[in-house]
Amino acid sequence: MIPDAGLTIIYHGLERWPYRMECSGLPQKNKLELRSYNSERILVKTVLFAPPMIDRIRGRLKPIAMDAVKECPPYGIYLLASILKAHGHYVVIADLIADGTHLMRKYLSELKDCNLVGIGATSLSWPTALEVIWQVRRARKDVPIVLGGIHPTMFDRYILRVFPVQYVIRGEGEEALPALCTALESNGNVSGVPNLSWRSADGKIIRNPIRPKIAGDRLASYPLPDFGMLPSGIYQGLSVESSRGCVFDCAFCSTSYRRSWRALPTELFVDRLEAIMQYKDRTRSGVINIIDDEFSTNPGRVVQIVRVIRSRHLKPSLTFDARAPDLLKHSLAEEIAEFTREFLVGAECGYDEGLERVGKKTTCKSLEDAARELQRLGISARASFSFIIGLPWETRAEVDRTIRFAMHLLGSYGVRILLQWYLQIPGSRIWDKARRRHVISEAMYDDYGFFRNLYLFRSGVSLPPKQVWEIADMVGQLKWITDLKYPDGRMLEFGFPPPIQKDFPREIVDDEDAGLESLRQVSCAGINATDLVS
């Protein structure tokens, strides 16, 4: 029997907002009474959840975007599972991304006797993570829940105040999660657990100190993510990490470890890649996604990695992200070409002032040089140059410049183009500025479909809806022409912003005599108002 963790939970009705649970009281005793899962040790049994990004489509909740495609497994969750196991704990991975659902029915029996529930979330998957929390609470009021991942890291205080969870691990979980398990299975005192946010018995939210970032060689020493537990034939490919963090701090980017970068030693990384490759038959395409923020960060290192791969006669099919200027150094693009399935170049803007404001240390010239080099190598169609349109400072003129430049790269060098509208996602410098001005807040990300919220969209994109439609029409024509030349339809991808589609449909953007104007026409028909008072 697992003791009540001390939560008093008042249900107001349904499980979702606005019927939020109120949590009064705190885990009075953190210590777990543990069951023995083998004869040698008392272990913590953890169920680790990976919730997908979901939206309501025609009334039904369904995975969307990348999580509908199931590109690669959530590396962090599978890695943490292996680490906990190496510490002797018992772990069940509840991979809801693979399951393609927000429902955790399948794991109910595991939940019954577990001692800890862990849930990882980005801001995109946060509404689903909340859904999981409510379901866990329905099944088990007593089990402690620990959250991790970028969204809970940013909003630990808000989350601990509002939702029925006990712990948030901020940032890296590799050392912190086993430390939490050790604390729970020994004396229950969590005050020494690094990176942990928790509530004390008197209701205060305590943030334990953050331990120094894990060094590259330490990252290489952890057991590999347990892809042996991966369901077969579900994911497109696998994931592997070669470095963590990024030396840049781009204005729109929400990645965690900016202006800091740690790399796994070359040979050790290739060892891990090689070990992970043995599971590629469990995937649909056999591709290995290098999930680094920017794999190309140290071009000389990447070339070394390629040479080790070659010397071991490995034949990985890789995808990764790269910066344009890096591709040109140390013949990186040429060296890695034979192992490259496809890759993404964050091009961002088609004009130098925009690139300067973004802070990516690229220029239009370096983007064009990179595209030209890729064409020379015959691999330009494997590169997706991704551009953002509608950044907060942009008018129609800047958006046009970006589109024109992007089309020039496509037309001249045959690189693929992705045009994405800017969306306020927590964690970026732009988001932070708007948050400080109290224009947006973390609470706006609690419900499904926040990216359909017009207010959120327009807090970032200042172009009026009419111009958004005009831009869409223009790109629509460009796409039509592009698709004639490249019939697979993949060379130019463009998304229309859902909030404009929903709240400013094309049919109304030109209506200037609607609303009050229309009412006035009705009320004044045939009457001169001044006649009434004269």
HSE, CB side, 13 Å, CA atoms: give it for residue 33. 6
**Residue 10 belongs to what H/E stretch?**
strand 8-10
8-state DSSP, 244: E
**Residue 303 belongs to what H/E stretch?**
helix 299-311
- Closest approach, Cβ 112 to ligand B12, in A, equals 19
Nearer Cβ to ligand SF4 (114/154): 154
* 250 touches, from ligand SF4, ligand B12, none (C-beta below 5 to 8 Å by class): ligand SF4
- Closest approach, Cβ 349 to ligand B12, in A, equals 16
- Closest approach, Cβ 473 to ligand B12, in A, equals 23
Task: Establish if 67 lies at the interface with ligand B12 (CB under 6 A).
Answer: yes
| Torsion angles phi and psi, residue 11, rounded to 5 | -85, 130
Within 25-54, the residues that bind ligand B12 by CB under 6 A are 52-53
Q: Of 55, 131, 294, 398, which one interacts with ligand SF4 (CB under 6 A)?
A: 294
- Closest approach, Cβ 323 to ligand SF4, in A, equals 6
Within 333-352, the residues that bind ligand SF4 by CB under 6 A are 346
Contact 389, 350 (CB under 8 A): no
HSE, CB side, 13 Å, CA atoms: give it for residue 467. 15
Contact 70, 234 (CB under 8 A): yes
Q: Which of 173, 165, 222, 216 is nearest to 196 (CA)?
A: 173
Within 250-279, the residues that bind ligand B12 by CB under 6 A are 253-256
Task: Establish if 420 lies at the interface with ligand SF4 (CB under 6 A).
Answer: no
Neighbours of 92 (CB within 10 A): 18
Within 360-399, the residues that bind ligand SF4 by CB under 6 A are 360
Q: Of 89, 102, 137, 151, which one interacts with ligand B12 (CB under 6 A)?
A: 151
Angle at 443 between CA 191 and CA 360, to 5 degrees: 85
- Closest approach, Cβ 336 to ligand B12, in A, equals 18
String marking each residue 235-274 x if it binds ligand SF4 according to CB under 6 A: -----------x-xxx--x-x--x----------------
* 115 touches, from ligand SF4, ligand B12, none (C-beta below 5 to 8 Å by class): none
Task: Establish if 149 lies at the interface with ligand B12 (CB under 6 A).
Answer: yes
Task: Establish if 177 lies at the interface with ligand B12 (CB under 6 A).
Answer: yes
Residues in the chain: 534
- Closest approach, Cβ 150 to ligand B12, in A, equals 5
Q: What's the CA gap between 205 and 309, in Å, rounded?
A: 48
54 Cβ partners below 8 Å, 6+ apart? 61, 62, 63, 64, 67, 102, 125, 127, 128, 131, 448
Contact 75, 243 (CB under 8 A): no
Contact 90, 19 (CB under 8 A): no
Q: What's the CA gap between 534 and 521, in Å, rounded?
A: 21
Nearer Cβ to ligand SF4 (163/405): 405
3-state per-residue secondary structure call for 5-16: CCCEEECCCCCC
Q: What's the CA gap between 441 and 144, in Å, rounded?
A: 27
Task: Establish if 174 lies at the interface with ligand B12 (CB under 6 A).
Answer: yes
Q: Of 43, 45, 74, 115, which one interacts with ligand B12 (CB under 6 A)?
A: 74
* 67 touches, from ligand B12, ligand SF4, none (C-beta below 5 to 8 Å by class): ligand B12
Nearer Cβ to ligand B12 (142/493): 493
User: How many chain residues are in contact with ligand SF4, going by CB under 6 A?
Assistant: 12
Q: What's the CA gap between 108 and 123, in Å, rounded?
A: 25
Task: Establish if 325 lies at the interface with ligand B12 (CB under 6 A).
Answer: no
Nearer Cβ to ligand B12 (242/373): 242
Beta bridge partners of residue 206, listed in sequence order = 198
The helix/strand/coil state of 519 is helix
Stretch that binds ligand B12, among 71-79, 260-268, 270-278, 485-493 (CB under 6 A): 71-79
How many Å separate Cα 318 from the centre of its chain?
A: 20
Residues lying near ligand SF4 in the complex (CB under 6 A) are found at 246, 248-250, 253, 255, 258, 293-294, 323, 346, 360
Contact positions vs ligand B12 (CB under 6 A): 52-53, 65-67, 71-77, 79-80, 97, 118-120, 122-125, 146, 148-151, 169, 172-174, 177, 241, 253-256, 291, 293, 425-427
